Amino acid sequence: MSTSLRFILVATRICAALALLGHSAPLAAQDITLQSRDLGIEVSGSLLSFDGEYYRLDSRFGPLTIRADGVSCAGTNCPNLETLVIEARLTGTSQLTRTLLPELLDSFARDRGMRLTRRILDPRQSEYVLSRTADDSEAARFLVTSGTTEDGFLALLNGDADIALAAREPLAVEDLAAQASEPGGQPPLYRRGRIVALDAMVAVTAPDVALRAISPEDLASVFTGRIQSWAELGQQDQPIRLHLPEVESGLSQMFVRDVIAPSGRALAPEVIRHDDLGDLAAAVAADPTAIGITALAASGITRPLALSGSCGYALLPDDTGLKTEDYPFTAPLYLYTPPRRLPRLVREFVAYFESAASERLVRQAGFVSQTITASPLEDQGRRLAQAILAAGPETNLLGLQDLAQAMAQSARLSSTIRFADGSSEFDTQSRASISRLARALERGEFDGRRLVFVGFSDGAGAASANLRLSVNRAEAVAQAVRDAAFSADLSQVEFSTQGFGEALPMACDDTAWGRAVNRRVEVWLQ
C-alpha cells in the first residue's frame, strides 16, 4: 500500500474515532480521583499515564494533565510512587535502532548510575531496561521497535510510540494525518523534529572501481535502465548490477523522490533490494559491476561516489559536505516527539542526543556530528578560483574583487543555511545550525571575533535581483541568530552581512538540485 494511502486511512480512522468520542457522553470507568491539597477541587477520570511528575487522565473535560505534587490520588488504580518504572516506546528507522540508539542508552544509563539490559523480544523489537546500580531496582524501560521511517510516523500518530525515529522529514500526507490525530496539537509535527545525526544518501561501488563521481542525471539513467553498461560511464563494457534498500525505507523513498522522479521514468525492474544496509554494502563491495544506493554511515568498505554536474564541480559526501549541506543528498536522522509532555527521564534522554558524549557515539556509529567546524583558509582560495572560472557575463570584476577581499583572512564555518526555491523558510538542518550558532555565541566562543553572514543565490533570474535576494537572506539569517542567542552578550561579537548574488556557485544551475545547493547563507569567521 502506498504511503499516502496508508496515512489517509490512518487520518480517516482517527477522525472517525474522535467523532465517536464526541458522542460517547456517559464516561468510561472513573479509575481515579485527584483531589487538590486544600480539598477545593476534585476531578475523576481514567488514568492515561503517570510519569512521576504529572498525572494524565481522561476526564469528562477531556484529557487533563495535572501536576502530582499539588493533589492526592484516591482509587485502586492510583500509581505506586515507590515502584514506578518509566516507560517509553521508540519506533522507526533501523539506521538509528541498530547501533547508535543502544550505545546512547548505555552511555545515558551509566552517566546516571544505572546499568542497561537489552531484552531481545524478537528480531525487530528489544526492551532496554535501565536499573539503578545502587539497589538493582528498575528505573525505566525503553521499548524499541526497528522498522522504517514510515513505521515510526505511523506509530507516533496512532499513539503506539512516544518517539518516532526518522530518516527524513514527514511527508505532506503525514503532516495532514498528524493534524487530524492531534487536533490543536502544537507545534505541528514537522516542527517537532530534532536532528540527532547527519548522514547522506550515497551511490556506492566496490572499492577498486575506477569511477569517482557520477551526476544525479546519470544515476537516474542507470537506475531506470537507460544506461545499462559500464562503458557508458567511461569504464569497461560490462552490465551494471543495481542494488537498493527496501521499498519502504526512508532512503529508497528519498532516492525515488530526488533522483528518479525528476527523470520522469520508472525504476528498472531488475533492481536487487536489501532489507539490511549491511547486506547491501557487502554485496556491492564484492561485485565490481555493482552500483548501490545506501546511507554513508552504512557504506562499509564500498566507495561512495561524489556528485558531479556538467560544469565540473564534484560535491563530496564527506564531513564538511554533510555539515554544510553542500552535498545535496544530505539525509539527517531525526527524533520526533508527540505534542504532549514526556516523562522527565525520557525528556532527559532526548536532550542527551545533544551532549558531548553523544557527539562521540554519533561519529563512532559512522554518522557525522553537527559540531561547528571551520574550513581552512586554503579552501577559501580554492573556492575563489572556482568563482573566477565560473564568472558569467553578468559577473563584474568589482564584484569578484569584493568577494576576494571578504574571503581573505576568513574561515568558513560549517553552519550553512539553505532555503526552498523563492522562500525564506529554513529547512530543519538550517534551523538546527542557527540554534547551534546561537548556543556557541552564548558560550562566548566567538567573543572578540567578527561573524560575517554571506548570502548567495542561484543563477536563475536577473543578476541584480539575485544580488538583492542574497543580501536580504543574509540579513534574515543574522537576525535569526541574534534572536536565538537571547542570553549571549552580543556586544562582544561583531556581526556583519554581505550578499554576492550568484557569484560563487557550488553546483551547476542547470538542475533543481544544483540551484538548491547554490541558494545559501554561509557564515564566515574573521
Partner 1 sequence: MKRFLTHWRLLGVLLLFGLVAVIWIGTVREAPRIAVDLTPQPPSQPNLNAQLLSPDQSIGQRFAESTPVSASGRTQAEASDRLGLPCGLSLAGEAGGLAMITLHIADPCRPDTQMMIEHGGLRFTVETDFTGSAEVSVPALQSPANIVLAQSSGATQTVWISVPELAAYHRVALYWTADAPMELRAESHSSEARGIERTQAQPGQADDVLRGDGGHLMTFGSADTASPILAHVYTAPRDVIGPPRNVRFSLEIPIDAQSCGHVARGGIAQTGLTGGLSQMELEVPLPACDGQNSVLRLPNLLRDLTLGSG
Instruction: By CB under 8 A, name the binding residues for partner 1.
Output: 94, 98-99, 102-103, 105-107, 115-121, 123, 128, 133-134, 136, 206-208, 276, 278, 281-282, 285-286, 288, 300-301, 303, 360-361, 363-365
Q: How far is the CB of 300 from partner 1 (least distance, A)?
A: 4
Q: How far is the CB of 449 from partner 1 (least distance, A)?
A: 28
Q: How far is the CB of 304 from partner 1 (least distance, A)?
A: 9
Q: How far is the CB of 271 from partner 1 (least distance, A)?
A: 21
Task: Cis check for the bond before 207: say yes or no (omega within 30 of 0).
Answer: no
Please identify, using beta-carbon distances, which residue of 229 and 289 lies nearer to partner 1.
Answer: 289
Please identify, using beta-carbon distances, which residue of 107 and 511 lies nearer to partner 1.
Answer: 107
Could you give the residue ranges of the DSSP H alpha helices within 190-308?
A: 216-223, 250-255, 277-285
Cα–Cα distance for residue pair 169/91, rounded to 1 Å: 15
Cα–Cα distance for residue pair 335/96, rounded to 1 Å: 10
Q: Which three cell numbers stand for residue 362?
A: 554519533
Q: Is the CA virtual torsion 15, 20, 26, 30 positive or negative?
A: negative
Cα–Cα distance for residue pair 190/175, rounded to 1 Å: 7
Q: How far is the CB of 402 from partner 1 (least distance, A)?
A: 40
Cross-strand pairs, 88: 142
Please identify, using beta-carbon distances, which residue of 110 and 341 lies nearer to partner 1.
Answer: 110
Which distant-in-sequence residues (6+ apart) come within 8 Å of 522 by Cβ? 324, 412, 413, 416, 453, 454, 456
Please identify, using beta-carbon distances, which residue of 101 and 437 lies nearer to partner 1.
Answer: 101
Cα–Cα distance for residue pair 485/436, rounded to 1 Å: 9
Q: How far is the CB of 440 from partner 1 (least distance, A)?
A: 22
Please identify, using beta-carbon distances, which residue of 177 and 365 lies nearer to partner 1.
Answer: 365
Please identify, using beta-carbon distances, which residue of 102 and 343 lies nearer to partner 1.
Answer: 102
445 to 197, 257, 414, 437, 451: CA distances (angstroms): 22, 39, 15, 9, 11
Question: What helix, strand, coil percent values describe the chain, rounded to 5?
Answer: 35, 25, 35
Please identify, using beta-carbon distances, which residue of 102 and 499 lies nearer to partner 1.
Answer: 102
Q: How far is the CB of 132 from partner 1 (least distance, A)?
A: 9
Residue whose C-alpha cell is 510512587: 81
Please identify, using beta-carbon distances, which residue of 300 and 339 lies nearer to partner 1.
Answer: 300
Please identify, using beta-carbon distances, which residue of 115 and 382 lies nearer to partner 1.
Answer: 115
Of 71, 96, 225, 231, residue with least CA distance to 163: 96
Q: Is the CA virtual torsion 408, 414, 420, 423 positive or negative?
A: negative
Q: Is the CA virtual torsion 120, 126, 132, 137 positive or negative?
A: negative
Which H helix or E strand runs over 429? helix 428-442
Q: How far is the CB of 146 from partner 1 (least distance, A)?
A: 9
Of 216, 370, 230, 235, residue with least CA distance to 293: 216
Please identify, using beta-carbon distances, which residue of 181 and 302 lies nearer to partner 1.
Answer: 302
Q: How far is the CB of 97 from partner 1 (least distance, A)?
A: 9
Please identify, using beta-carbon distances, which residue of 33 and 107 lies nearer to partner 1.
Answer: 107
Cα–Cα distance for residue pair 94/192, rounded to 1 Å: 20
Of 191, 176, 161, residue with least CA distance to 14: 176
Under 8 Å between Cβ of 501 and 463 = yes
Cross-strand pairs, 89: 143
Q: How far is the CB of 118 from partner 1 (least distance, A)?
A: 5
Q: How far is the CB of 516 from partner 1 (least distance, A)?
A: 29
285 to 117, 168, 243, 436, 490: CA distances (angstroms): 34, 26, 11, 37, 51
Q: How far is the CB of 237 from partner 1 (least distance, A)?
A: 20
Please identify, using beta-carbon distances, which residue of 66 and 365 lies nearer to partner 1.
Answer: 365
State whether residue 445 is helix, strand or coil: coil
State whether residue 385 is helix, strand or coil: helix
Please identify, using beta-carbon distances, which residue of 157 and 165 lies nearer to partner 1.
Answer: 165
Q: How far is the CB of 134 from partner 1 (least distance, A)?
A: 7
